[in-house]
Structure 1
């Protein structure tokens, strides 16, 4: 007899629990919804066995104590779901570092996790907040956030999906690898029945302050062959179809992500921030794998002692073959990538961008080994700012390269650098046709190229960028049109077909560095003016915004803010009004850096940004400090023509962090938000609650630069009335706008600014509420959460 219902909330919870236990001595009801709203509910279900189609739903806004360890196997058509219901913040599971007995064996290894899945299949875990911290730093406890454990099954456990969770504070100051945020482990401790996994997806999770490794996979050593000399293409017990994407992983005790024992895993669009805080370890690495691909990831902040030997953004590790590291962005680590000299073969490193990695480019691990073969490094761009003195090979540790061919790479320093002490002492190492700007080439370089490569506009070091759709903010590292290296590189067979920015490569392409010549979509340059330039507060357009990384510490907007809009007739964009506030915890609060992009979208209501349709890309805009009541103006040097849109099509304007110092947005209260990271203007069309970062945004075809449009009244004169309107709220020490023609020569210029500020200082009376200018097509509206506002040529959708 089975108790069947899909609405358990219809009965009192205690009665439901009693009925479940009385009528279901075996697995609980098939296809049922289990609502957990109290600690008693949690305790009742946390070790229960569930059936295909069951939904285990924890109430949002609630905190539950203990390790949630449900059992059960779903099916391809009827998955088991562990998720949230209701409104508010994600439900929290806090295990407080408690160690629990093994789920089936008294003599088995104990476990400590917020969520344990044991021998489960066809399960989705989503929308949970998990922590597991007792405040200690002990090394004897393998603390986990989500632990997926398979034992003695003699098969692959299928389709386990971990998505949209927030995992943090997992006994933070812990360095070991066998612990961390999300960990998959397959073993055969009591039999010869090895257990592995197939179709694992770990996506859209945020992991912060995690002891050990952020995300990792592992098969017991005796159950998996080494890959480098495996004669076939697929190993019986390797993890198959591993996909790890769109995760933000920060402040880990060890590595951010480790892919062990996999065949053809894809690791893409992830961010590693400040990994290995308590022990040296490369941010991303693979071990004992076949065909691992790392692409479109960002890694930064992996730093420690100068003598640390594992401080790269990426690591091609040993017992592996066919590793590909491509289209990634690293910055601020000790070096870009590590390459292990123990047994490993067929490694490709291409079309990556390394900016300001502190000591150099390539580190070779295990100096006394020589078993690595066939590594090809081509078409990467490495840029080092002036205060760095890079060593390209073996930086600071005098490591010796092995079995590597370097072609078409660009190494550019703003000051000076060297090839490295042992760059020429390697075995079977070829340097052929690479660019060395302000860097001494290796003596063995076949064709050293030493002219300035003429990067388009280098120097910006943006953080937490959208690597799927937002790589345009790095377009300053493309080769400019006047580069001497627009062609002439060595043709590479099977070169991947695309450069770093997604431009197709023609057959036999001879491009240098990470990308083709050009800077498409960069758009006009811009000038930033401040001083509360928006005409009046009652016409400021306030739009609620919510970042997609809830729970990150502080108020830094670490992800993008995006707003969609439509244009009902061709519009010449000239000025972008923006309200913002500086981050008082940043390194230099006098200057905030942002990137600004405008993309095309198919649907302004719910759309993924269309790749390759950037209409405008401004990188590293320097916004002076403002107080919260001010509005800055980004004035384009030349107008950007936005074509008329039809139907649901439109545009999305997105703002992202351009580097340190950070920035935050003018607050107008906690309002529902509509802004998300990872290239989506609206995530699945669903607006999320709890947004606390709001910003003022308005677009105009009015040129408010000093020399062009001081006369808001359009009466042919610049007079005191115009000035009062222009200078509303004057008194901010950063105001940069003059009264207009203080010298009475009918030209608004820098002399006027000096005269007015020296004469009047900060004693100007703000404009009255009746003195409102009438710019030609200025957006004037205030949005409700789901309203559509039409004004002039704009329709903004919140």
Structure 2
């Protein structure tokens, strides 16, 4: 990376916020970083071994393509730890109701790292937690504060470009188990209604990547990019390219991540044109989609979660991923081609998922293909063509128990074509 701006050093061990931020005289806190007027090419480096207790990093900064802003680590030892403990509170409001009246669309959120209208920014090599919070608040409280490890917001700058999250360890994020589309979980990007859309244009993302991150014990989501206030524009089966040119995301890349012990869904990409999701691995997701945790939903439904899947995307490619041990709920399968156009799953591996291998979800999931995948001992029912009109399932290998049906019961009212698959009883 070409260095053209200033480098600010931050050490919780031997820094001082009265210092000038050089390596020999580092700043001490993230509060000082939040006050910096970061310019294109600037860097903020947190010292390895530092623990930023009860602190948060909230940025509204813009680099350029030639000179991005970089947030990372320096020194030796463990990654710097941002331990937010329910601090870093901000107010999220989509500015409109979402595609279901039961979806919460506004409220307070606690985020360890908030990238608000940021672009040309890279964040990497950090450890992040966000547990604790309001005194007396129970874990499953119906209006519990939403919490995030990293939250991305697009609102008042039109299309945001080049945001990259690399090698982050995000764990113990105690979010709200019910709120699916607030910034709630390990990594969650959303687009909110602009104050003056006619001037700024539609809020959306282009060239966002999440790579090499480890998400553990985050709720509700593991990784999600990126729910949009324009969701009602996508309420159809055929999703023309022009729709994404106006309202959707482009060049979303999610790769080499590991999600485990997640409260709800593992990895989801939303409202994206040709997103690529590859070489990710998941283990033991949907841990909270049950009556023990999902105990006070009030009028909210949605006690469902799947492993790695797209929502309202066009020509999504999900390849070389692995998902194991999804816990039982109304969905709980490894893969879910959900209400998208042209979803392709290929070369993926699933094992012991309690809701089966793959679902093709409802009438607005069209032109979907499932090929060259391996399912090893998935449970409940291997496939779920739930209301789907035209799934094509071919050249896969299914290892199954004798008592496990190919089509899951009560999820069998769709149409599919199965060709050249191999079945082995175990």
The TM-score bracket by the shorter chain reads 0.7 to 0.9
Using the TM superposition, give the Cα deviation of residue 99 of structure 1 relative to its aligned residue in structure 2, in angstroms.
Answer: 5.3
Among 336, 346, 363, the alignment partner of 1:326 is: 346
> Which of 213, 225, 233 is matched with 1:205 structurally?
213
Answer whether contact 1:36 1:59 (CA < 8 A) is retained. no
* 8 Å CA contact 1:49, 1:71 repeated in 2: no
1:168 correspondence with 2:177: no
Give the equivalent residue in structure 2 for 1:569: none
Return the match for 2:188 from 183, 208, 216. 183
The 1:219–1:278 alpha-carbon spacing in structure 2 relative to 1, beyond 3 Å, is closer
Distance (whole Å) between structure 2 residues aligned to residue 112 and residue 44 of structure 1: 19
Counterparts of 1:365-444 in structure 2, within 5 Å, are 365=386, 370=387, 372-385=388-401, 389-394=403-408, 397-414=409-426
Counterpart contact for 2:225–2:268, Cα < 8 Å: yes
Compute the displacement of 1:173 (Å): 7.7
What do residues 668-710 of structure 1 show as CA deviations (whole Å, max 9, x unaligned)? xxxxxxxxxxxxxxxxxxxxxxxxxxxxxxxxxxxxxxxxxxx
After TM superposition, give the deviation of residue 49 of structure 1 in Å: 2.9
What TM-score does the superposition give when structure 2 sets the normalisation length?
0.82
CA distance in 1, matches of 2:175, 2:119: 30
Report SS of the residue matched to 2:230. helix
Secondary structure in 1 aligned to 2:32? helix
Structure 1 window deviating more from structure 2 (272-281 vs 168-177): it is 168-177
Q: 1:141, 1:89 → 2: CA distance?
A: 29
Tell me if the contact between 1:175 and 1:276 (Cα under 8 Å) persists in the aligned partners. Answer: no
User: 2 CA distance for matches of 1:273 and 1:262?
Assistant: 25
Q: Deviations over 1:601-656 (max 9, x none)?
A: xxxxxxxxxxxxxxxxxxxxxxxxxxxxxxxxxxxxxxxxxxxxxxxxxxxxxxxx
Greater relative CO (CA pairs within 8 A, separation 6+):
2
SS in 1 for 2:30: helix
The corresponding residue for 1:119 is 117
When residues 325 and 100 of structure 1 are mapped into structure 2, their CA distance, relative to the original with a 3 A threshold, is same
Aligned to 2:102: none
Q: Cα gap change, 1:170/1:14 in structure 2, threshold over 3 Å: closer, same or farther?
A: closer
Over aligned residues, Cα RMSD in angstroms? Answer: 2.6
Following superposition, which runs of at least 4 residues in structure 1 exceed 6 angstroms of deviation? 33-36
- For 1:172 and 1:245, the matched residues in 2 are separated by 24
Q: Distance in 2 between matches of 1:297 and 1:278?
A: 23
Q: Report whether the alignment pairs 1:358 with 2:358.
A: no
Deviation, 1:187, is 1.6
Distance (Å, rounded) in 2 between the aligned partners of 1:293 and 1:258: 12
**Equivalent residues of 2:47, 2:74 under 8 A apart:** yes
Q: CA deviation at 1:96?
A: 0.3
Distance 1:47 1:347, change over 3 A: farther
Map 1:215-226; keep pairs closer than 5 Å: 215-222=223-230, 225-226=233-234
Structure 1 position 360, deviation (Å)? 2.6
* Residue aligned with 1:235, SS: helix
Unaligned 5+ runs, structure 2: 94-105, 290-303
Cα deviation for residue 311 of structure 1 reads 1.0
* C-alpha contact (below 8 Å) 2:221/2:265 kept by paired residues: yes
CA contact (8 A) 1:180 1:212 kept: yes
Q: Give the number of the structure whose alpha-carbon radius of gyration is greater.
A: 1
2:139 maps to 1:134: no
User: Hey, what does 1:316 align to over in structure 2?
Assistant: 337
Give unpaired runs (5+ residues) of structure 1: 21-32, 415-798
The normalised TM-score by structure 1 is 0.45
Q: C-alpha separation between the residues in 2 aligned to 1:211 and 1:122?
A: 27
Alpha-carbon distance in structure 2 between the residues aligned to 1:292 and 1:256: 16
User: CA-to-partner distance for each residue in 1:323-357, whole Å, 9 max, x for gaps?
Assistant: 00111000010200011123221000000000011
Write the mapping of 1:632-711 to structure 2, written as runs, cut at 5 A: none
Aligned-partner Cα distance in 2 for 1:347–1:45: 46
Is structure 2 residue 241 aligned with structure 1 residue 229? no
Query: When the two structures are aligned, how many residues end up with a matched partner?
Result: 378
Task: Give the distance between the partners of 1:278 and 1:59, measured in 2 at CA.
Answer: 35
